[in-house]
A and B are shown apart, each in its own frame.
Chain A
């Protein structure tokens, strides 16, 4: 089931940019709206990765216990960024693990080549080189190795921080040390992960072994950053601009930014999470009008709040019958509370005028 989901997801992801690949160059298909996958696999998909590549079924649990892998993290702005790096590493590890399977002879070299190409990407030079240096090509992948990957590279001249959140640590994630001037790292790292996943899931028999034949079978389609929809909703810390401003302000002390006031970031993260859940349900073919709430919840439990993708062609959910139930419930069965004696908040014409002005100022026009 999970494999099917992943494969379908991958299939949908390909719609991001049907390749318009000229010889050795990457071009942009302007007709296709860019949709960026959320760079986080759901936990059971990660389990599936482990399982498919011969790891123990509880590998992810081990990682969680060691605080190396986020479990069910809500979409806090920071938490999202911390989720990306470990899942990328897991992908890479799973990739490398394939070489030990006899039927994939020669695959190791190709993977090494692919990774090498990724490393050559100037955007990820530092990151991926640091990873590649440590990848135990030809060696069994152990938990200790995974552990080592997450810890900072000590005493290197150009040490980048690959430190994932330590218990009680102040440096919460790898992004703390990356240039926040733009959102490009975030976006482009997601693209790398996408490539890795294509390698992972498109080399299987189901999706056609022919893809195995060419080391350059997978095009890299790079939408312009300006068109990227990150999935963040607007608001401080949750839009690309807001995120950048916040980081500038709190990490680098740039204080002459207007980030105060407005809506609390937490709410937006929650709203976003809820919205994504509904989108996922739709994508999974869940008919919201008929499906019992309990079953929806069970489905969501399988796919925790960190999702695969924002998908194209999303259709708004139909009215769930529970809405009607709630209406009836509220209208017919709500208790009438006793009012305070003589309590009165009169609504005057002046109030009416003020309300209209307020709403216009708030953008409700």
Chain B
């Protein structure tokens, strides 16, 4: 039995005292890459993507904020973590998967989740080999993920992690686009597959075929792996945390159209799913969340987080950052560019971000933790510069 107690403010020291379990969400500074960590209300640790690399030391020192797999390992050890409850690879691109082999070799997952075809990619060969070994030793289960799947749940705490994407429409688009890449202008053969299981199987085959053909000069064009992005929604009581991976604009439109399902006997609608915390998709690039739909997915005053160093030239885009800011979701960025300071719009960029989500949907704390490295960010006096959002003021 979990006490349904709201957090109260400890007036003596000005901090919030946590009287109930929280959903802790960590957004790691991985450059222009994703690495998210969840500590569930039951105390399980889950990882969503791990695009961590060891960047050029010169850039890293200049940046002072980029994290590495070693940093993450150190953090997990510090937290007493031995195994990860679950690992979700949202889609098979290296800025989301690069660090997984190194991390999972030390922290085995109980459950490894990925979208159809993901492990068929050549760049994930090492990860596949590792998972094979861990699977053989009976330590790890794997699962293919698509919209509607329950990825993790802790019923006692009313906590669920569910997939809202990739939708069947995304799978269809991926399969068709890949087929066209392989055909290279020749007439398409075969019928359009609509069944989800059949689509998944078809995608696995297509990815493998594509990976074999990828180096051949006839393949021109980029495989649309972002179409496979797993959009994950963590629901903890009335609190919602929405993680957008690299889901594209069209995927968001699809999800916005059909978000209905039944949860504990109650018909859940789009409004019920609006999140208090939002991990902005595709590192804040323009082809992610359509700004006009922000209000559909986000509660008023929601906290948005962007994983980008600011180095990349397409993400985060000023349009998305300023658009979110105008709508009251001023984003926090995990990275800061020494090269182009002042590029970010909205909040200061702050390195490792931690958000605590309470069961009643309140988000009292957004912390910047830079103790994971000895070097303190120079420009990130987080506690001084960031004021509570309107939501926080309203609730406390």
Contacts and interface: CB of A to CB of B under 8 A. Distances in A.
Greatest chain B CB density within 10 A among A76, A259, A275 is at: A76
B377 to A, nearest CB: 11
B20 interface: no
Contacts of B61: 67, 165, 167-168
Contacts of A91: none
A263 B283 CA distance: 10
Interface in A308-338: 314, 316-317, 319-320, 322-323, 325-327, 329-331, 333-338
A271 B58 CA distance: 22
Given A237-B312, A344-B148, 4 more contacts: A76-B311, A78-B339, A168-B61, A329-B142
Interface in B52-74: 53-59, 61-62, 64
A236 interface: yes
Given A293-B129, A337-B149, A327 B311 contact: no
Interface in A203-237: 235-237
A70 B313 contact: no
A167 B62 contact: yes
Greatest chain A CB density within 10 A among B56, B129, B222 is at: B56
Contact of B119 (A235, A319, A326, A364): A326
B167 interface: yes
Contact of B95 (A64, A267, A327, A343): A267
B262 A341 contact: yes
25 contacts: A70-B57, A165-B56, A167-B58, A170-B339, A235-B314, A261-B317, A262-B287, A263-B314, A265-B32, A275-B215, A314-B215, A316-B213, A316-B214, A323-B120, A323-B208, A330-B119, A335-B111, A335-B142, A340-B261, A340-B263, A342-B261, A343-B148, A343-B260, A344-B260, A363-B221
Majority secondary structure, B binding face: mixed
A319 B207 CA distance: 13
A136 interface: no
Given A270-B95, A293-B129, A337 B150 contact: yes
B202 interface: no
A82 B122 contact: no
A72 B95 CA distance: 17
A262 B286 CA distance: 7
B59 A264 contact: no
Interface of B: 31-33, 51, 53-59, 61-62, 64, 93-95, 98, 111, 113, 119-120, 122-123, 125-126, 128-129, 131-132, 135, 141-145, 147-151, 162, 167-169, 172-173, 176-177, 180-181, 185, 192, 194, 201, 204, 208, 211-216, 221-222, 224, 250, 254-255, 258, 260-263, 282-283, 285-287, 308, 311-315, 317-319, 338-341, 343, 378
A266 B33 contact: yes
A153 B173 CA distance: 56
Contacts of B285: 260-264
Contacts of B261: 340-344
Given A67-B61, A330-B119, A250 B135 contact: no
Greatest chain B CB density within 10 A among A235, A261, A338 is at: A261
B54 A72 contact: yes
Interface in A233-283: 235-237, 242, 245-246, 249-250, 259-267, 270-271, 273-275, 278-279
Contacts of A362: 177, 224
Contacts of B308: 264
A64 B262 CA distance: 58
Nearest to B268: A340
Given A263-B314, A270-B95, A323-B208, A317 B58 contact: no
A330 B144 contact: yes
Interface of A: 64, 67, 70-74, 76, 78-79, 82, 164-165, 167-170, 172, 235-237, 242, 245-246, 249-250, 259-267, 270-271, 273-275, 278-279, 293-294, 297, 314, 316-317, 319-320, 322-323, 325-327, 329-331, 333-347, 351-352, 354-356, 358-359, 362-365
Closest 5 CB pairs of A and B: A165-B58, A266-B32, A270-B94, A343-B148, A261-B286
B215 A316 contact: yes
Greatest chain A CB density within 10 A among B167, B201, B315 is at: B315
Contacts of B111: 335
A334 B141 CA distance: 7
Contact of A264 (B144, B169, B221, B282): B282
Contacts of B59: 76, 78-79, 82, 165, 172
Nearest to A274: B123
A355 B176 contact: yes
Contact of A359 (B33, B162, B173, B312): B173
A358 B173 contact: yes
Contacts of A341: 261-263
A250 B340 contact: yes
A167 B378 CA distance: 13
A264 B95 contact: yes
A345 B123 CA distance: 31
Contacts of B317: 260-261
A70 B56 CA distance: 6
Contacts of B216: 316
B147 to A, nearest CB: 5
Contacts of B32: 264-267
Nearest to B131: A329
A73 B177 contact: no
A356 B176 contact: yes
A365 B185 CA distance: 7
Contacts of B287: 261-262
A67 B58 contact: yes
A344 B311 contact: no
A264 B128 contact: no
Greatest chain A CB density within 10 A among B213, B222, B318 is at: B222
